[in-house]
Structure 1
Amino acid sequence: MEEQLEGLKTINPATGELIQHYTFMTDKQAEDSVKNCHEAFLKWKTTPIEERAKIIKAIGQSLQKHKDELVQTMTQEMGKLLKQSKQEVDLCTSICDYTAENGPKELADDERELPNGGKGVITYSPIGVIYGIQPWNFPAYQVVRYSIANLMAGNGVLLKHAENVTGSGKLLEKIYTEAGLPKNLFTVLLINHKQSDDIIKNKLVRGVTLTGSPEAGKVIGKKAGAQLKKTVLELGSNDAYIVLDDANIDKAVKHCVNGRVYNNGETCVAAKRFIVVDKVYDEFKEAFVKRMKGVTHGDPTDENSKIGPMAREDLRDDLHKQVTESVKKGAKVLCGGELPEGKGFYYPATVLENVEPGQPAYDDELFGPVASLIHAKDAEDAMRIANDSRFGLGGGIFSENTEKAFDLAKNHFDTGMVFINSFGLAQPNMPFGGVKDSGYGREHGGFGIKEFVNAKAVMQLS
Structure 2
Amino acid sequence: MTIATTSPVTGEVLKQFDELSPEELEDKLQRAAVAAASYRLTKHEQRAEWLSRAADVLEADSATVSELITTEIGKTLRSATDEVAKCVASLRFYAENGPRFLRDDEGAAAAAVGAQRTYVTRQPLGVVLAVMPWNFPLWQAMRFAAPALTAGNVGVLKHASNVPQTALYMEQLFREAGFPDDVFQTLLISSGRVEQVLRDGRVAAATLTGSEPAGRSVAAIAGDEIKRVVLELGGSDPFIVMPSTNLERAATVAVKARTLNNGQSCVNAKRFFVHADVYDAFLDLFTAKMGGLVVGDPMDDSTDIGPLATESGRDDVEAYVDDAVAKGATVVVGGKRPDGPGWFYPPTVITGVTGDMRMYGEEVFGPVAQVWPVASLQEAVDLANEHPYGLGSNLWTEDQSERDTFIRDIQSGMAFVNGNTSSYPEIPFGGIKRSGYGRELSDVGMREFMNAKTVWIGDPAR
2:36 paired with 1:41: yes
Spell out the pairing of 1:273-288 with structure 2 (5 A cutoff). 273-288=271-286
Partner of 1:163, secondary structure, is: coil
1:297 counterpart (295, 302, 310): 295
2:115 paired with 1:156: no
Separation (CA, whole Å) in 2 of partners of 1:405 and 1:48: 48
Greater alpha carbon shift after TM alignment, 433-442 vs 101-110:
101-110
Question: Which residue identity does 2:417 align to in structure 1?
Answer: I
Question: Which residue identity does 2:203 align to in structure 1?
Answer: V
Q: Which residue of 1 aligns with 2:15?
A: 20
Question: Which residue identity does 2:447 align to in structure 1?
Answer: K
Spell out the pairing of 1:236-255 with structure 2 (5 A cutoff). 236-255=234-253
Q: Which residue of 2 aligns with 1:50?
A: 45
| C-alpha displacement of 1:282 | 0.8
| C-alpha displacement of 1:209 | 0.5
Q: Which residue of 2 aligns with 1:321?
A: 319
Separation (CA, whole Å) in 2 of partners of 1:252 and 1:360: 27
Deviation digits for residues 199-219 of structure 1 (CA, Å, limit 9, x no counterpart):
011100000110001111001
Is 1:398–1:405's contact at 8 Å kept on the other side of the alignment? no
| C-alpha displacement of 1:405 | 4.5
Separation (CA, whole Å) in 2 of partners of 1:305 and 1:78: 15
Is 2:397–2:403's contact at 8 Å kept on the other side of the alignment? no
2:367 paired with 1:369: yes
Question: Which residue identity does 2:47 align to in structure 1?
Answer: R
2:90 paired with 1:102: no
Is 2:392–2:421's contact at 8 Å kept on the other side of the alignment? no
Separation (CA, whole Å) in 1 of partners of 2:94 and 2:328: 48
1:423 counterpart (420, 437, 447): 420
Separation (CA, whole Å) in 2 of partners of 1:54 and 1:458: 29
- Compared CA separation, residues 247 and 342, structure 1 to 2 (3 A): same
Question: Which residue identity does 2:106 align to in structure 1?
Answer: E
Is 1:116–1:461's contact at 8 Å kept on the other side of the alignment? no
Q: Which residue of 1 aligns with 2:219?
A: 221
Deviation digits for residues 336-382 of structure 1 (CA, Å, limit 9, x no counterpart):
11121101100000000011222222211110000000121111111
| C-alpha displacement of 1:117 | 4.4
| C-alpha displacement of 1:441 | 0.5
Question: Which residue identity does 2:355 align to in structure 1?
Answer: P
Separation (CA, whole Å) in 2 of partners of 1:20 and 1:176: 23
2:400 paired with 1:407: no
Taking only the aligned residue pairs, the percentage that are identical comes to 37
Q: Which residue of 1 aligns with 2:269?
A: 271
Separation (CA, whole Å) in 2 of partners of 1:194 and 1:335: 40
2:191 counterpart (193, 204, 208): 193
Q: If the length of structure 2 is used for normalisation, what is the TM-score?
A: 0.97
2:77 counterpart (79, 82, 86): 82
Greater alpha carbon shift after TM alignment, 255-264 vs 99-108:
99-108
1:132 counterpart (110, 130, 133): 130
Partner of 1:455, secondary structure, is: strand
Partner of 1:284, secondary structure, is: helix
Separation (CA, whole Å) in 2 of partners of 1:455 and 1:193: 31
In structure 2, runs of 5+ residues without a counterpart are none
Q: Which residue of 2 aligns with 1:348?
A: 346
- RMSD of aligned residue pairs (Cα, Å): 1.1
Separation (CA, whole Å) in 1 of partners of 2:41 and 2:182: 16
Separation (CA, whole Å) in 2 of partners of 1:120 and 1:211: 36
Separation (CA, whole Å) in 1 of partners of 2:369 and 2:454: 49
Is 2:257–2:421's contact at 8 Å kept on the other side of the alignment? yes
In structure 1, runs of 5+ residues without a counterpart are none
Separation (CA, whole Å) in 2 of partners of 1:304 and 1:65: 25
Greater alpha carbon shift after TM alignment, 286-295 vs 193-202:
193-202
| C-alpha displacement of 1:226 | 1.1
Q: If the length of structure 1 is used for normalisation, what is the TM-score?
A: 0.97
